[in-house]
Amino acid sequence: MALNYIWVGFFVVAFIVAIVKLCVWGDTGIFTQLVNSTFDSSKTAFEISLGMTGILSLWLGLMKIGERSGMINVLSQWLSPVFCRLFPDIPKGHPALGSIFMNMSANMLGLDNAATPMGLKAMKELQELNPHKDTASNPMIMFLVLNTSGLILIPMTIMVYRAQLGASQPTDIFIPTLITTSISTIVGLVAVSISQRINLICKPILMLIGGISIFFGALMWLFIQLTREEMATYSTLIANIVLFTAIMSFILWGVKKKINVYDAFIEGAKEGFHTAICIIPYLVAFLVAIAVFRASGAMDWAVNGISWCVERCGLDTSFVGALPTALMKSLSGSGANGLMIDCIKQYGADSFVGHVCCVCRGASDTTFYILAVYFGSVGITKTRNAVTCGLIADFSGIIAAIIISYIFFS
């Protein structure tokens, strides 16, 4: 029901804003903009789904090899001590645990093309365990919120944009973004754990958090020692090595277990094609709603309203220029990237606002896009508290991004 109210809300707000613009300011072109945005976003949704078909077929084919060869089962057993506490409703050693691990690993490395197919595979396996096929289960909600919180080690795409737009030090947002996305993930994890009454105070979880903290600390120290050119080179190299190593691991493990690797790949690839087709209606629905909301000017009104409130509270409003990027981030990844680029061009890559919008962009992932794609792929219509927990993680990421940007860049 939450998605239904949000989806309808986008259209209603856009219509009200358009009526006000027409009646009060005589903006006769507003409805033309709204109609054009619906056509453009529908086309974009189809192109996104079509573009994902090959990638989905590739990775779901590889995952099928891992499933038949027992590699996913090995990963599941290895992860059971931690994941069985985060996902208590998933049976110990279930293949979904391995798929979740692969998805989260790809996300942390910024490998979006690999993360989405693995996430869809995990969601399909979670749906097999779900007793109510139209309602999100507890493991689905936990998995989705961990995805929307967007924990990433190296915000490579953002750093590339900064380099292209003339930043003197494109990598200076690395540590602030890492801290911000970690906060967003922790808040999202805690929010879901509270709602599902999951106890996070246990040895496996504390050991995992400690290990991740040590790893993050070492990574920060390492990248501080590098120049921006070295950082870009090494981060890209590491990501590509990890990606191709994963591909070869699936294939060689299958050969070792003496399965028909080719047939397994083809079977999984067929699932990838079917999945890409299934998500088209959900993408069209949400991208159209978001496009209409943005084209109406409702986003600008929201930003101006926040700016007015902040100013009346006597607080500094220097960060307000980055709010369009921060708010759009939950709705559309491409839209947020576009607004981030516009912000950097307007204020400068090395300006305070330029830094804030980049850190906000990397704070978390695109909540509504992930909701539409992941839940849509398995036919979930009742999302329960997934939207609420995802938006809590998003909001905490935005607040953290602004505060941390003041610490690092003001």
| pLDDT tens sequence across 142-176 | 999 888 887 776 676 687 778 778 888 777 787 78
Q: Give all strands (DSSP E) within 230-269, no chain letters.
A: none
Which pair of tokens denotes residue 249? 């691991």
Q: d(Cα 406, Cα 88) in Å, to the nearest integer?
A: 39
The mean pLDDT of the chain is 82
* CB contact burial 281-293 (16+ within 10 A = b; e otherwise): ebbbbbbbbbbbb
pLDDT score at 32: 92
- Amino acid occupying residue 175: I
Dihedral sign, Cα of residue 154, residue 150, residue 93, residue 65: negative
**Which pLDDT score, from 0 to 100, does residue 231 have?**
64
Q: Is the dihedral of CA 337, 188, 386, 377 positive or negative?
A: positive
- pLDDT tens-place string over residues 202-219: 777 778 777 777 876 776
User: Which residues does residue 382 pair with via DSSP β-bridges, in sequence order?
Assistant: 135
Collect all residues with Cβ–Cβ distance below 8 Å to 172 and sequence separation of at least 6: 355, 408, 409
d(CA 193, CA 212): 19
CA nearest to 180, candidates 410, 409, 406, 397: 397
Asked whether the predicted pLDDT for residue 266 surpasses 60, the reply is yes
- Please answer whether residues 400 and 183 qualify as being in contact, where contact means their C-beta atoms are separated by less than 8 angstroms: yes
Residue 1 has pLDDT above 70, yes or no: no
Contact present, 365 and 147 (Cβ < 8 Å): yes
How many Å apart are CA 380 and CA 382, to the nearest integer?
6
Most confident of the ranges 238-242, 278-282, 389-393: 389-393
Q: Examine the pLDDT at 398 and tell me if it is beyond 70.
A: yes
- pLDDT level of residue 112 (50, 70, 90 thresholds): low
Alpha carbons 115 and 106: distance in angstroms, whole number: 5
Q: Which residue has the tokens 């860049």?
A: 409
Question: Is a pLDDT exceeding 60 seen at residue 184?
Answer: yes
Euclidean distance between CA atoms 209 and 215, whole angstroms: 10
pLDDT band per the 50, 70, 90 thresholds, residue 198? confident
Model pTM greater than 0.85?
A: no
Helix runs in 313-385, H state only: 323-328, 333-347, 352-361, 367-370, 376-377
Please give the pLDDT value at position 140: 94
For residue 70, give both structure tokens.
């027992």
* Rounded-to-integer distance, Cα 145 and Cα 186, Å: 10
Of residues 325 and 52, more confidently modeled: 325
pLDDT in tens, 22-54: 898 888 889 999 999 899 888 887 887 777 788
Residues 6+ apart with CB under 8 A from 107: 115, 147, 150, 151, 152, 365
pLDDT tens for each residue of 286-299 = 778 888 888 898 88
- pLDDT at position 254, please? 92
Give the pair of three-digit tokens for residue 62.
């590889």
* Vertex 359: Cα angle to 109 and 322 (nearest 5): 145
CB 104 within 8 A of CB 79: no
Task: Report pLDDT for 236.
Answer: 62
Look at residue 116 in the predicted model and tell me its pLDDT. Answer: 79
| pLDDT average, residue stretch 195-207 | 83
What is the per-residue pLDDT for 312? 86
Find where tokens 């999100």 sit: 136
* Best CA proximity match to 327, nearest among 357, 295, 351: 357
Residues in the chain: 410
